[in-house]
């Protein structure tokens, strides 16, 4: 399996994760998800494989998530995914997929868990 990073070059964390992958000798496929957003199937797979709920994968900082009502009680995961598909900036970043799994690598140091997973 190859490596993929769902990347935003304007994001320091995303740039740091990409640098850590490259420092480890990994040249991932880079998908600038704001230019090429994932489709529903891909987004739901990334969230699920990372062991997250849509709410946990929602980016709040620098977005209009509050104005969209996504923080209100009763908002479903489906509604959050719909909002992410409509406004990809709402997808937290960077998601990284590789032979050892899928992870939302925030903070950037967590990418080490994919590069060198713990033994056992």
pLDDT in tens, 45-75: 999 999 999 999 999 998 999 899 998 999 9
Structural contact between residues 63 and 69, judged by C-beta atoms closer than 8 angstroms = no
Q: Taking 70 as the threshold, does the pLDDT of residue 81 lie above it? A: yes
Among residues 5, 6, 7, 11, which one is catalytic?
Answer: 11
Mean pLDDT to the nearest integer, 1-6: 92
pLDDT, position 116: 87
Mean pLDDT to the nearest integer, 35-43: 97
Q: How far is it, in rounded angstroms, from Cα 67 to Cα 63?
A: 9
pLDDT, position 118: 64
11 included as an active-site residue? yes
Query: What share of the chain in percent tops pLDDT 70?
Result: 96
pLDDT, position 120: 57
Q: What domains are there in the chain, each with its CATH number?
A: 4-115 (3.40.30.10)
pLDDT, position 119: 62
Q: Is the pTM of the predicted complex or chain greater than 0.75?
A: yes
Phi, psi of 108 (to 5 degrees): -60, -25
Average of per-residue pLDDT values in the chain: 94
Q: Is residue 30 classed as helix, strand or coil in its secondary structure?
A: strand
């Amino acid at each position: 399996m190859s490596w993929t990073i769902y990347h935003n070059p304007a994001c320091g964390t995303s740039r740091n994760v990409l640098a850590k992958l490259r420092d480890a000798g990994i040249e991932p496929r880079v998908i600038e998800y704001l230019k090429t957003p994932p489709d529903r199937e891909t987004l739901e797979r990334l969230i699920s494989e990372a062991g997250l709920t849509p709410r946990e994968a929602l980016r709040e900082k620098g977005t209009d998530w509050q104005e969209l009502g996504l923080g209100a009680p009763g908002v479903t995961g489906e509604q959050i995914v719909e909002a992410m598909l409509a406004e990809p900036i709402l997808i937290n970043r960077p998601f990284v997929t590789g032979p050892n799994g899928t992870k939302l690598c925030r903070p950037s140091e967590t990418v080490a868990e994919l590069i060198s997973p713990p033994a056992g």
